[in-house]
A and B are shown apart, each in its own frame.
Chain A
Amino acid sequence: MRKTALVAGAAVLASLVALLIFGTPSGAQQQKSTAADSARVYVLDAADTASLRGPRQPIFFRHDLHAGQYKMECQYCHYSVAVAPEPGIPSLQTCMGCHAVVGGSDSTNRAEIAKLRKAFSENKPVEWVRIHFLARHVHFPHSQHIKALGPSACATCHGDVTRMPQVFQVNNVNNMGFCISCHIERKVTRDCTTCHY
């Protein structure tokens, strides 16, 4: 209990300092994607893929190619993001829509696309490693945010994937401050039951 008392004292003073000096409390810093990631050339060889940030996916799918170079709409694959709480992960059928024909430009691409075709023919789903995993007591309706911020708002939370050969977490979406700061900025509701129920 002595501990509590000390913590209490400290916290009180800390918050006082916080409010007297800054006016708003600190916290909720978000890591920004580094310049290194953003400036990447589209041609990669196996060597430098190892150095990329983010988890390695079963198939080396490159957002920077699809969304960046070929300028494909996010919603082409994440089909339900504008109409449903969930963005939707493209079915392999969607991939095959192109890759039944498109076989890949260089050897690395061809290898990856081969994996895809194999999975499809064998009815084996691809187990993508999840990057953004929102805690289960938070409800984040994607459709509402797309509606409010426009179809290209994805980057607000997910970072600029058009420059990511391999997707990584730019913002800690489980950091409540990350959501709140935005809600404060845009003067939208901060009611708890907007997200928690």
Chain B
Amino acid sequence: MPEDVQNQGIDRRKFLTVLGATSGGAIALSGCSTSRVEKLIPYLVQSEDQVPGVPTYYASTCTECASGCGVHVKTREGRAIKLEGNPAHPVNRGKLCARGQASLQGLYNPGRVRGPMLRTGGTLKPISWDDAIARLAAEVGKAGGRVAAISGAGRGTFSDLLAEWVGAIGGRVTRYEPFDHEPMRLANRQVFGTDELPAHDFGKARFIISFGADFLDTWLSPMEGQRGFSQSHGFSERGMARHVYIGPRMSMTGLNADEWVSVTPGSEVALALAMANVLLGAGGAPADAGGLRGALAGYTPADASRETGLPAATIERLAREFGTAGPGLAVAGGIATQDRHAVELCAAVNILNYVAGNIGQTVRFGAELPAADGYQGVAGLMAAMDAGQVGLLLVHEANPVYTLPHAAGFEARLRKVPFKVSTSLYLDETAALCDLLIPNLHPLERWDDTRPGAGLYGLMQPVMEPVFPTMGEVPSVTHTGMPGTYMESPAAVVGISTGDVLLRVAKKAGGPLSRFTAATFEAYLKDAWRGLAGEQGGAGDFDTFWREALARGGVYGERPVTEVRLASGLSPARYARPAFDGDGEFIFAPFPHSFLYDGRGTNRPWLLENPDPVTKITWHSWVEVSPATARRLDVERGEMVRLVSPHGAVEAPIWVYDGLRDDVIAMPTGFGHTEYGQYAKGRGANALDLLGAPGDTPFVPYLSTRVRVEKLNTWMAVATTEGTPRQLGRGIAEAMPLAAAARGLTVKQAYREAAGVAEGEEHPVTEIAAIKGWRAEQIEMRKLGDYVVAQPSWGMSIDLARCTGCSACVTACYAENNIPTVGYDEVLRGREMSWMRIERYWEGGEQTGQPLQARFVPMLCQHCENAPCEPVCPVYAAYHTADGLNGQVYNRCVGTRYCGNNCPYKVRYFNWYKYNERAFPEPLNLQLNPDVTVRARGVMEKCTMCVQRIRGMQHQARLEDRAIKDGEFMTACAQACPSDAIVFGDMRDPASRVARIRQDPRGYHVLEDLNTRPAITYLAKVLHGAEA
């Protein structure tokens, strides 16, 4: 397929069709037909940063969530094919989560709105850009001052423009973000007199206690959370931090905790305050905390114990450990604990942190993480709508119709607005109700920037032309690509972003808007950055500043840290049990889906097929109940139930989960779209339908309703990739106590010690000698042809003490290796193709009475030296390369599938259907990696350790007459892993990192006794000892 490179940049239709042939790897595989006439279409003008067959990287910024990670966009022949972390970026340091990587499927999403549309006679009909802009200008005029806009939390030059623009014509912009951190801001104002969001340093903390904040998957800034957590909680000579999770349900973050403390929902406040109280008593608290003594006096562990149902001793223990473990860190505010008293909870946790002296240490104010206006804003907007003060509503990067609880009644009010404009890229629920759609460009297609925090300025540049030619045209401009050289834009054509639209409308409408003079949004952006350049001292030569900024993906200054003190005369409000709507017997806890989040990810097959880290369910929603509850209700896995709250009802299949309180029923958000493209529409049920309108609270209290369960006596097959979730003593995900690990014992030794078995040789010496001799002989007899010369031996190590199960590696693998998604039905038959899967084994739990613990183990091809899959292949399609890979030659494979049977790790995947044709409907096929063959039906495929990257690097090195440096390149999974658990390299090079890690006493091979001699070494998980 690289042959198609020259199609770039000119004839779009051609571009699509020929690249469409990418997914026609089928044709290629089933025989090398050269019969069809291929056209070669040259560039008209060669752009110097596009070397055919060589990827070009552009720096940009991820906008999937507000934390604003820096990304490198890998482009080939002028189209983005992969998103990778930007190592220079302080937030994510070169790593990228599943959601960030799936942004690519947002770019190439089949559900994208391909151009402006106007509602005429009830239906949306395409119109030209000029008409759309003219119409908008006219409507703006008509609406007079009665203009309003609602946008997401994103903060940057565009949001400034929008605010100014709307402001100029007398309206205001409401910035709304679901799962926003409003309670935290309110609490911060209350306790510290500032309503900004602080940064949390998980890496420094030695004792992390989270009150329902899922800082590893969805809360605040997950990538920072992951990195910090793996630094402090990953095993090292410094030992290992402790992590206690408090909440009604064990989320992925909870599964990574050493201890799960479940308290009566809503009583977390009491717990936090009691802990603070104990710490105060213990002394060592900052002087000015003394004022709190009186206020906290009412919160003895005994009192708290009554509220929480925890033994007082436990509370004291937690408090003491938290106070003494070294810098601690308490966080709160995940939506699972966001009840009507969420503000009090955050305040209590603030106090706890303050008393423990963590403020300024692990909790740093001054970072100014982006936050929206919270629910008050929306409430205000809706009031204005009611009052008929909104004649024109502009919806930008927000989908309130879906993400607000239905009971809030946004939809009804929206319908009443005379003219509604949406800039959404996809036809989401809100856009579907609008009268005019002027789709924005995807962040990879447009000029934009973002301010994810104080001192951080992320840039976005068009790394390619708009996927849809209908995206209009503005004059091409110059900018720089990753290599740092000054060059032509890869995008000969840049589409019209919403920024451009606003500016053009401004020109048309004139009046107060005439002050916006910039020709294009790019120009506007540059002006804004001139100002920044001034601050940054780059004013002298703006071009250089601009170019460097583009090359780095933005400007990353030090995060300022501002001192905060307790607000004077602070006294925490008297704790009272939060109220719950309705009289159902269960408290309903919706929680953000790790990948779909608030539902914005639901139109991306990668995210739908990536199994939820906890339940491993794909493609549909579910209802979680505890085993005890399941018994009591007499429901089982897959049984459909209806949850009824005073505000609504939803239906979903049951999933029985040990990590859930008996009095709580949990459900993931993000499903139940009624619009939003072929993948999302009508998939599952929307948990938010059960919530009421936030009345008294200035935020959406997600944990505020009680539900009733009705059995429907129908069943639905649950598409989980989980087989048997217990290890049955097969030692797949090994673990050892901290003490043993600290003494440098091996897993076996640790076992023997625990079992009190004496150290002893398992085989007689003679036998070992004999085996050694035999093996040496065998190895001699292998030395023929390519196998004579010694070559590198590629290997990998995976540290289970660091792996959090976040599944970023899985998506990375899908993206890098053109792995097709197979969908619900095929997942049911166990036919998912994920070359890399995260197996999640339970230890303890309801059945055993022990506390439930999870062991995550990424399972991929082990590249065994004695691979059982190889000798059984009749055509050498599975064989061993001279550099230690277990090669799989797709075009040689005839599909006997014996390799799949004989693989003890079950990591070989077969193309039962023409997945390559089903999985990539246009334009999704444009995301395919040209360096990797797209597998046809009837062939076996599996992890190749990214052989395309290995060969590419070898070619590069050979061209430059040099050796490959360790760590110079790595596999997609290792590159993505946010907790740096995966290390790849040449095992034969003693200096390489992987070679050193393989020496770690914690190292072991899965199913070692089969003598398959895997090239992948796992490092055993480390557990806190009995004190946990």
Check A123–B955 contact: CB distance below 8 A.
no
Q: What's the least CB distance linking B893 to chain A, in Å?
A: 10
The interface on chain A, measured as residues whose beta carbon lies within 8 A of the other chain's beta carbons, has a size of: 44
Known pairs A80-B53, A92-B44, A130-B40; A197 contacts B3 (CB<8 A): no
Contact for B40 among A80, A128, A196, CB less than 8 A: A128
Does A93 interact with chain B (Cβ within 8 Å)?
yes
Check B45–A93 contact: CB distance below 8 A.
yes
Q: Which A residues lie within 8 Å of B932 (CB)?
A: 197
Does B128 interact with chain A (Cβ within 8 Å)?
no
| A residues 18-35 touching B (CB-CB < 8 Å) | none
Q: Which B residues lie within 8 Å of A130 (CB)?
A: 3, 37-40
| A residues 128-182 touching B (CB-CB < 8 Å) | 128-130, 133-139, 141, 143-144, 147, 172, 174
Q: Which B residues lie within 8 Å of A192 (CB)?
A: 876, 879, 881, 887, 889, 892
Contact for B931 among A123, A138, A139, CB less than 8 A: A139
Q: What's the least CB distance linking A40 to chain B, in Å?
A: 24
Known pairs A92-B44, A137-B933; A147 contacts B3 (CB<8 A): no
Contact for B959 among A134, A147, A196, A197, CB less than 8 A: A147
Q: Which B residues lie within 8 Å of A133 (CB)?
A: 3, 34, 36, 38
Check A197–B944 contact: CB distance below 8 A.
yes
Does B739 interact with chain A (Cβ within 8 Å)?
no
Q: Which B residues lie within 8 Å of A80 (CB)?
A: 51-54
Q: Which A residues lie within 8 Å of B715 (CB)?
A: none
Check B52–A86 contact: CB distance below 8 A.
yes
Contact for A193 among B21, B51, B947, CB less than 8 A: B947
Check A194–B951 contact: CB distance below 8 A.
yes
Q: What's the least CB distance linking A187 to chain B, in Å?
A: 10
Binds A, one of B4-12, B631-639, B768-776: B4-12
Q: Which A residues lie within 8 Å of B34 (CB)?
A: 133, 135, 172, 174
Does A49 interact with chain B (Cβ within 8 Å)?
no
Does B165 interact with chain A (Cβ within 8 Å)?
no
Residue of B nearest to A93 (CB): B45
A192 to B248: give the CA distance in the assembly, Å. Answer: 53
Q: Which A residues lie within 8 Å of B472 (CB)?
A: none
Check B42–A139 contact: CB distance below 8 A.
no
Q: Which A residues lie within 8 Å of B1 (CB)?
A: 136
A65 to B79: give the CA distance in the assembly, Å. Answer: 36
A83 to B955: give the CA distance in the assembly, Å. Answer: 10
Check A126–B933 contact: CB distance below 8 A.
no
Check A94–B46 contact: CB distance below 8 A.
yes
Does B573 interact with chain A (Cβ within 8 Å)?
no
Binds A, one of B24-32, B271-279, B547-555, B717-725: B24-32
Check B891–A196 contact: CB distance below 8 A.
yes
Does A85 interact with chain B (Cβ within 8 Å)?
yes
Q: What's the least CB distance linking A196 to chain B, in Å?
A: 5
Does B41 interact with chain A (Cβ within 8 Å)?
yes
Residue of A nearest to B28 (CB): A136
Does B43 interact with chain A (Cβ within 8 Å)?
yes
A127 to B44: give the CA distance in the assembly, Å. Answer: 11
Q: Which A residues lie within 8 Å of B892 (CB)?
A: 192, 196
Q: What's the least CB distance linking A13 to chain B, in Å?
A: 20
Contact for A190 among B27, B39, B785, B891, CB less than 8 A: B785
A189 to B885: give the CA distance in the assembly, Å. Answer: 15
Q: What's the least CB distance linking A158 to chain B, in Å?
A: 14
Does A120 interact with chain B (Cβ within 8 Å)?
yes
Q: What's the least CB distance linking A129 to chain B, in Å?
A: 6
Q: Which B residues lie within 8 Å of A147 (CB)?
A: 958-959
Does A91 interact with chain B (Cβ within 8 Å)?
yes
A191 to B789: give the CA distance in the assembly, Å. Answer: 13
Please classify the interface of chain A as helix (H, G, I), strand (E, B), loop, or mixed, using the class held by over half of its residues.
loop
Does A54 interact with chain B (Cβ within 8 Å)?
no
Does A104 interact with chain B (Cβ within 8 Å)?
no
Check B25–A136 contact: CB distance below 8 A.
yes
Q: Which A residues lie within 8 Å of B889 (CB)?
A: 192-193, 196
A142 to B52: give the CA distance in the assembly, Å. Answer: 11
Contact for A197 among B6, B21, B947, CB less than 8 A: B947
Does A89 interact with chain B (Cβ within 8 Å)?
yes
Residue of A nearest to B876 (CB): A192
Q: Which A residues lie within 8 Å of B41 (CB)?
A: 125-128
Contact for B3 among A84, A86, A123, A190, CB less than 8 A: A86
Contact for A125 among B33, B44, B52, B887, CB less than 8 A: B44
Q: Which B residues lie within 8 Å of A137 (CB)?
A: 25, 28-29, 32, 890-891, 933
Does B882 interact with chain A (Cβ within 8 Å)?
yes
Q: Which A residues lie within 8 Å of B891 (CB)?
A: 135, 137-138, 196
Q: Which A residues lie within 8 Å of B36 (CB)?
A: 133
Does B309 interact with chain A (Cβ within 8 Å)?
no
Check B54–A84 contact: CB distance below 8 A.
yes
Check A193–B944 contact: CB distance below 8 A.
yes
Q: What's the least CB distance linking B1 to chain A, in Å?
A: 5
A70 to B948: give the CA distance in the assembly, Å. Answer: 39
Q: What's the least CB distance linking A1 to chain B, in Å?
A: 17
Known pairs A190-B786, A192-B887; A127 contacts B40 (CB<8 A): yes
Does B744 interact with chain A (Cβ within 8 Å)?
no
A138 to B37: give the CA distance in the assembly, Å. Answer: 18
Contact for B786 among A79, A139, A189, CB less than 8 A: A189
Check B890–A125 contact: CB distance below 8 A.
no
A89 to B933: give the CA distance in the assembly, Å. Answer: 23
Q: What's the least CB distance linking A151 to chain B, in Å?
A: 13
Check B786–A93 contact: CB distance below 8 A.
no
Q: Which A residues lie within 8 Å of B46 (CB)?
A: 79, 90-91, 93-94
Check B39–A127 contact: CB distance below 8 A.
yes
Check B52–A196 contact: CB distance below 8 A.
no
Residue of B nearest to A141 (CB): B955
A172 to B33: give the CA distance in the assembly, Å. Answer: 11
Residue of B nearest to A148 (CB): B958
Known pairs A133-B34, A143-B955, A174-B34; A193 contacts B881 (CB<8 A): yes
A197 to B10: give the CA distance in the assembly, Å. Answer: 29
Does B830 interact with chain A (Cβ within 8 Å)?
no
Does B2 interact with chain A (Cβ within 8 Å)?
yes
Q: Which B residues lie within 8 Å of A89 (CB)?
A: 6, 40, 42
Known pairs A130-B40, A196-B890, A197-B933; A88 contacts B52 (CB<8 A): yes
Check B5–A86 contact: CB distance below 8 A.
yes
Q: Which B residues lie within 8 Å of A197 (CB)?
A: 931-933, 944, 947-948, 951
The winner among A88, A189, A190, A191 for most chain B CB atoms within 10 A is: A191
Residue of A nearest to B787 (CB): A191
Residue of B nearest to A134 (CB): B3
Q: What's the least CB distance linking A197 to chain B, in Å?
A: 5
Q: What's the least CB distance linking B49 to chain A, in Å?
A: 12
Check B37–A129 contact: CB distance below 8 A.
yes
The winner among B52, B948, B951 for most chain A CB atoms within 10 A is: B52
Q: Which A residues lie within 8 Å of B959 (CB)?
A: 83, 143-144, 147
A88 to B50: give the CA distance in the assembly, Å. Answer: 10
Q: What's the least CB distance linking B40 to chain A, in Å?
A: 4
Check A126–B42 contact: CB distance below 8 A.
yes
Contact for A189 among B21, B39, B882, CB less than 8 A: B882
Q: What's the least CB distance linking A149 to chain B, in Å?
A: 13
A123 to B42: give the CA distance in the assembly, Å. Answer: 11
Q: What mask results when residues 90 to 127 of chain A are scored 1 for a CB within 8 Å of chain B, else 0?
A: 11111000000000000000000000000010010111
A90 to B933: give the CA distance in the assembly, Å. Answer: 26
A91 to B6: give the CA distance in the assembly, Å. Answer: 9
A133 to B786: give the CA distance in the assembly, Å. Answer: 28
Q: What's the least CB distance linking B890 to chain A, in Å?
A: 6
Nearest first, the 5 A-B pairs at minimum CB distance are A136-B28, A86-B53, A135-B32, A86-B52, A85-B53
Can you list 14 A-B contacts (CB < 8 A)? A79-B46, A84-B53, A86-B2, A86-B3, A90-B46, A92-B44, A94-B46, A136-B1, A143-B959, A172-B34, A192-B887, A193-B881, A196-B891, A197-B931
A136-B21, A137-B933 given; name 5 further pairs at CB < 8 Å.
Answer: A55-B37, A89-B6, A135-B33, A189-B882, A191-B786
Residue positions of A touching B, CB distance < 8 A = 55, 79-80, 83-94, 120, 123, 125-130, 133-139, 141, 143-144, 147, 172, 174, 189-194, 196-197
